[in-house]
């Protein structure tokens, strides 16, 4: 029984990079989808539609804080996307 | 004496801005240099130029007033602003890279390249110009409130508008001379004052409000309501406001060209990441302060003056600082608007009509000066008819966001065609304009669940764009050209670009 032929060294990183990039793109899309849902989806707005308490104010503050943090996550997903450094 | 302090603060700040701008002067004699500042700025300049273009002086006046009188709904501007920053993150690569590779100077220039169409380019340019001018005029007039307040009763409201218009028009001398490079350098000074010093003022006012019986428990319950099912505005009203703001953001020519001015696509992304927390902290603090201030005596009677009423608790000096914050934010927005509009007229309307690529900056300088004079004249002539102008400005906002499908799908989707873009823009604007005139106030359309005219137009616009692109696809040669454009985005640029001086 012979051992499997190892892949050439130059192929493995390229395959891994491609896999990593595609995973990062999926993560970036998921982050944008979450951002859109929490700030744009009407049912989310309706949860806080009733007045009388400050939940609507806290909704805006918390949701927008999350979207702000998501920009940092997007930055990390794009870090090795192959573009030049600043 | 109070008036001297108020007006003196404006003069001193303006002198500082002009000094810093003039120090950064370089010979921007070519059109590309004039329009893009040499594509040489780093991410901090990118961040501040985005903020100073986006957060106009009206955030301290009209938007602050909306929150003080309309309540928590006023926070919708924070939501659409941050979604616009998310969009900026993804637009960075195609816009900046195509801009550098193909020497693009304006938004319409990019559309002309993407669709290989003169008509798309000209229509987009005309929409951008026509939509921007009413906002420039309103921005000039809004300084009237600053000059009126800082005169401490010495100057009549009409004379204050005249002074404000003349002041901001005179300030454009340096915009005309120094172009985008001067604008971006001045954005840094203006932005640091408007949102840096402004933020410190807001923190002080929040502390005053909390310690003087104006906490969260003192906000009227009605001000904490959002439109939902069964509300007069309709259940989709808030969605419409945020969606229109987000889609419309990058349709403004002045904001869009900021992505051409920085070094690399990565710089645009970094600018967006840096802008987000500044935008969030500043806008969240300002809107929260305005909401709490709704219980302060006098605010409900004149909500647009909430910023100055609150600054009044700190005396003349704080009112002067508050006034300079408004001036600083207004300078950035008006300068950017005039520069982008003037450049677009020359580059994408006159240049296309004469069928030659404009290479000298002289024409753009003349156009910026001419549009400044026309806008100033319009601002003076309509100083007593602001409400009519506001209607035109609202219509123009609904119109400019009709560029969004053509712009965004053109950048992210290969199959969109010139025919689809033209048909979509025209149909979207017609639908939005008709509905806007039919339902001018409170902007929502009852039988559409509270959708605004802009969103209704966008739905038609998008449907037309996709349908025409699919039914009548581009010829094979054109599709190959577009594919090459998109494929070029995957290539790395030379590393030499990374080390260019600012």
Tens of pLDDT, residue by residue over A16-74, are 667 777 888 899 999 999 999 999 999 999 998 876 688 999 999 999 999 999 999 99
pLDDT band at B27 (very low <50, low <70, confident <90, very high): low
CB-based contact (8 Å) between A79 and chain B? no
Determine, for residues B224 and A82 on separate chains, whether the beta-carbon distance falls below 8 Å.
Answer: no
pLDDT band at A86 (very low <50, low <70, confident <90, very high): low
Residues B244 and B457: their CA atoms lie apart, in Å, by 10
Is the CATH code 1.20.1730.10 the one for domain B2-246+260-386?
Answer: yes
Determine, for residues A36 and B265 on separate chains, whether the beta-carbon distance falls below 8 Å.
Answer: no
Across the A/B interface, how many CB contacts are shorter than 8 Å? 133
Q: What is the mean pLDDT of residues B185-192?
A: 93
Residue from A18, A29, A41, A64 whose CB has the most chain B CBs within 10 Å, to mutate: A64
CB-based contact (8 Å) between A50 and chain B? yes
Residues B431 and B261: their CA atoms lie apart, in Å, by 34
Determine, for residues A57 and B216 on separate chains, whether the beta-carbon distance falls below 8 Å.
Answer: yes
**Is residue A19, in this structure, part of any structural domain at all?**
no
Instruction: Say how far residue B76 (Cα) sits from the centre of its chain.
Output: 16
Residue from A24, A31, A43, A68 whose CB has the most chain B CBs within 10 Å, to mutate: A68
**Is residue A27, in this structure, part of any structural domain at all?**
no
Provide the shortest C-alpha distance from residue A25 to chain B (in Å).
11
CB-based contact (8 Å) between A43 and chain B? no
**Is residue A38, in this structure, part of any structural domain at all?**
yes
**Is residue A18, in this structure, part of any structural domain at all?**
no
pLDDT band at A3 (very low <50, low <70, confident <90, very high): low
**Is residue A3, in this structure, part of any structural domain at all?**
no
Residue from A40, A50, A71, A79 whose CB has the most chain B CBs within 10 Å, to mutate: A71
Determine, for residues B495 and A39 on separate chains, whether the beta-carbon distance falls below 8 Å.
Answer: no
pLDDT band at A14 (very low <50, low <70, confident <90, very high): low
B277 or B398: which carries more pLDDT confidence?
Answer: B277
Average of per-residue pLDDT values in chain B: 88
Q: Is the pLDDT of residue B495 over 90?
A: no
Provide the shortest C-alpha distance from residue A66 to chain B (in Å).
10
Q: Highest mean pLDDT range out of B125-129, B144-148, B275-279?
A: B275-279
Provide the shortest C-alpha distance from residue B295 to chain A (in Å).
15
Q: What is the mean pLDDT of residues B446-466?
A: 91
DSSP codes of every residue in B423-481? HHHHHHHHHHHHHHHHS-SSSEEGGGTTEEHHHHHHHHHHHHHHHHHHHSPPPHHHHHH
* Structural domain boundaries enclosing A46: 32-80
Enumerate residues 6+ apart whose C-beta is below 8 A from B71: B219, B220, B222, B223, B224, B225, B291, B294
Model ipTM value: 0.89
B58-107 pLDDT tens trace:
889 888 888 998 899 999 999 999 999 999 999 999 999 999 999 999 99
CB-based contact (8 Å) between A32 and chain B? yes
Percent of chain B with pLDDT over 90: 49
Residues of A in contact with B90 (CB under 8 A): 32
CA angle in degrees (0–180, nearest 5) for B128-B134-B135: 85
The number of domains in chain A is 1
Q: Is the pLDDT of residue B484 over 90?
A: yes
Chain A residue nearest residue B275, CA to CA: A68
Residues of A in contact with B492 (CB under 8 A): 82-84
Provide the shortest C-alpha distance from residue B188 to chain A (in Å).
19
**Is residue A85, in this structure, part of any structural domain at all?**
no
pLDDT at A51: 65
Q: Is the pLDDT of residue B499 over 70?
A: no
Q: Is the pLDDT of residue A2 over 70?
A: no
CB-based contact (8 Å) between A45 and chain B? yes
- Both tokens of B313, joined, read 């608790």
Provide the shortest C-alpha distance from residue A9 to chain B (in Å).
23
CB-based contact (8 Å) between A84 and chain B? yes
- Both tokens of A52, joined, read 């009388």
Determine, for residues B224 and A45 on separate chains, whether the beta-carbon distance falls below 8 Å.
Answer: no
Distances, alpha carbon B340 to alpha carbons A22, B50, B78, B136, B252, in Å: 37, 14, 24, 12, 9
Determine, for residues B264 and A50 on separate chains, whether the beta-carbon distance falls below 8 Å.
Answer: no
Residues B178 and B184: their CA atoms lie apart, in Å, by 10
């Amino acid at each position: 029984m012979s051992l499997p032929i190892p892949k050439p060294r130059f192929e493995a990183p390229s395959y891994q990079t491609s896999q990593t990039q595609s995973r990062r793109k999926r993560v970036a899309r998921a982050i944008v989808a979450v951002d859109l849902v929490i700030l744009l989806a009407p049912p989310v707005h309706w949860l806080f539609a009733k007045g009388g308490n400050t939940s609507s104010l806290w909704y805006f503050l918390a949701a927008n804080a999350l979207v702000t943090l998501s920009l940092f996550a997007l930055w990390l997903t794009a870090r090795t996307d192959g573009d030049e450094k600043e | 004496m109070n008036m001297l302090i108020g007006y003196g603060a404006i003069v001193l700040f303006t002198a500082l801005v002009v000094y810093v701008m003039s120090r950064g002067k370089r010979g921007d004699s070519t059109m590309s240099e004039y329009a893009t500042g040499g594509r040489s700025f780093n991410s901090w300049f990118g961040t501040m130029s985005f903020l100073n273009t986006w957060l106009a002086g009206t955030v301290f006046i009209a938007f602050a007033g909306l929150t003080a009188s309309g309540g928590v709904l006023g926070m919708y501007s924070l939501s659409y602003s941050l979604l616009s920053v998310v969009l900026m993150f993804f637009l960075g690569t195609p816009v900046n890279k195509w801009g550098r590779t193909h020497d693009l100077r304006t938004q319409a220039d990019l559309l002309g390249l993407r669709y290989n169409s003169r008509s798309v380019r000209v229509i987009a340019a005309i929409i951008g110009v026509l939509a921007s001018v009413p906002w420039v005029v309103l921005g000039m007039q809004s300084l009237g409130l600053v000059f009126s307040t800082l005169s401490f009763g010495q100057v009549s409201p009409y004379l204050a508008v005249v002074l404000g218009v003349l002041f901001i028009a005179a300030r454009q001398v340096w915009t005309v001379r120094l172009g985008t490079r001067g604008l971006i350098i001045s954005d840094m000074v203006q932005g640091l004052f408007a949102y840096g010093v402004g933020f410190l003022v807001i923190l002080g006012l929040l502390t005053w409000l909390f310690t003087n019986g104006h906490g969260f428990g003192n906000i009227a319950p009605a001000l904490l309501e959002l439109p939902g099912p069964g509300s007069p505005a309709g259940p989709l009203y808030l969605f419409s406001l945020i969606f229109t703001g987000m889609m419309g953001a990058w349709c403004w020519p002045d904001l869009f060209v900021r992505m051409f001015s920085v070094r690399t696509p990565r710089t645009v992304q970094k600018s967006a990441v840096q802008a987000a927390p500044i935008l969030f902290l500043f806008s969240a603090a300002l809107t929260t302060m305005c909401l709490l201030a709704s219980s302060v005596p006098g605010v409900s009677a004149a909500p647009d003056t909430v910023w100055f009423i609150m600054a009044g608790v700190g005396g003349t000096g704080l009112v002067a600082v508050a006034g300079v914050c408004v001036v600083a934010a207004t300078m950035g927005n008006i300068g950017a608007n005039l520069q982008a509009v003037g450049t677009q007229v020359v580059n994408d309307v006159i240049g296309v009509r004469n069928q030659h690529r404009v290479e000298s900056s002289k024409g753009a300088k003349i156009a910026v000066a001419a549009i400044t004079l026309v806008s100033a004249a319009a601002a003076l002539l309509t100083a007593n008819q602001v409400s009519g102008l506001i209607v035109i400005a609202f219509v123009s906002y609904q119109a400019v966001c009709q560029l969004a499908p053509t712009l965004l799908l053109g950048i992210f989707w290969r199959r969109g065609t010139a025919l689809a873009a033209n048909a979509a823009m025209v149909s979207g604007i017609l639908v939005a304009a008709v509905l806007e005139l039919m339902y001018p106030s409170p902007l929502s359309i009852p039988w559409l669940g509270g959708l605004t005219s802009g969103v209704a137009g966008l739905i038609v616009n998008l449907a037309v764009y996709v349908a025409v692109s699919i039914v009548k696809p581009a010829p094979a040669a054109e599709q190959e050209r577009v594919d090459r454009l998109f494929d070029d985005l995957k290539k790395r640029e030379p590393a030499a670009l990374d080390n260019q001086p600012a």
